[in-house]
Amino acid sequence: MSKPTVAVLRPDDDRITEAVKYLRSLGVTAVADPMLTIRLTGKTLGAADYCVFTSRTGVEIAVEQNWYSSKSTVCAVGQQTASALRDDGIPVDIVPSTFTSTGLVEELAAEVDGSTVEIARSAHGSDVLIQGLETAGADVYETQLYRLDRPTDAGRSVTLATDGQLDGILFSSPRTVNHFCEIAAEQTGLPALQRGMTKTIIGAIGLPTARAIWGHGITVDVIPDTVGFSQLADRTVEEIDTRN
């Protein structure tokens, strides 16, 4: 029996390398096709009563800028973001029990009235966090540290998916989904992609990513209970094995 072929679309940094290594450990033939490349904006963090980090990438950029304010209450959306902060010696004060922007708003709503809040993130974040904290009475500043662009050489996985040659695809962010489907539209059209993926197991790392997939008329087969790549890979490969 041949190994399942699974496409992984993580950013074109160490995350794609780690993802391929992990998939191979599961006995999978991994197709690495990064759908995101990070472009720095050149903006820098200041000082605020609360500083919110929403991704590991944002943490890495802040560390490169030698950012740290002992007077700031540091908040992290998700355990991976929190771990990245702690690994670089930055204490984390608040991690919401629900790893979403809405979860952080609920966590902070009762205490940020009259406070300044700086949100360190990409240029593609939703308005949920800003609007929720402003409604709670905070003075909110968004610092867009980076953009997530589409690599010029992305698309190998789209061609394979359209041809029905992928057993699984791992989507790890809404923007990854959008770039994947943009390429499909440019190649042979979204309907051809949808037809080619009728037997492909589609894994989404969380509900926002799943919603982006559904928005393109594609079925989602796997949404792990926890937000983490290894869980996404495990569950998707298990589903492939079950159906085979």
Q: Are residues 117 and 138 in the same domain?
A: yes
Kindly report, residue by residue over 64-73, the tens digit of the pLDDT: 998 877 789 9
Residue 227 CA to its chain's centroid (Å): 9
Q: Are residues 58 and 132 in the same domain?
A: yes
End of a domain among 91, 122, 148? 148
End of a domain among 148, 183, 199? 148
- What domain range includes position 127? 40-148
The answer to whether 212 and 174 have CB atoms below 8 angstroms apart is yes
Q: Which long-range contacts (CB under 8 A, 24 or more apart) does 184-191 make?
A: 184/158, 187/155, 187/158, 187/159, 187/162, 188/162, 190/216, 190/217
Closest CA to 222 of 241, 203, 206, 208: 203
Specify the pTM. Answer: 0.83
Report d(CA 184, CA 169) in Å as an integer: 14
Kindly report, residue by residue over 168-220, the tens digit of the pLDDT: 999 998 999 999 999 999 999 999 999 999 999 999 998 889 999 999 999 99
Q: Are residues 26 and 49 in the same domain?
A: no
Q: Are residues 137 and 173 in the same domain?
A: no
Q: Are residues 164 and 200 in the same domain?
A: yes
Q: How far is the CA of 60 from the CAs of 45, 67, 79, 121, 188, in angstroms? A: 12, 10, 15, 11, 37
Q: Are residues 59 and 120 in the same domain?
A: yes
Q: Are residues 21 and 49 in the same domain?
A: no
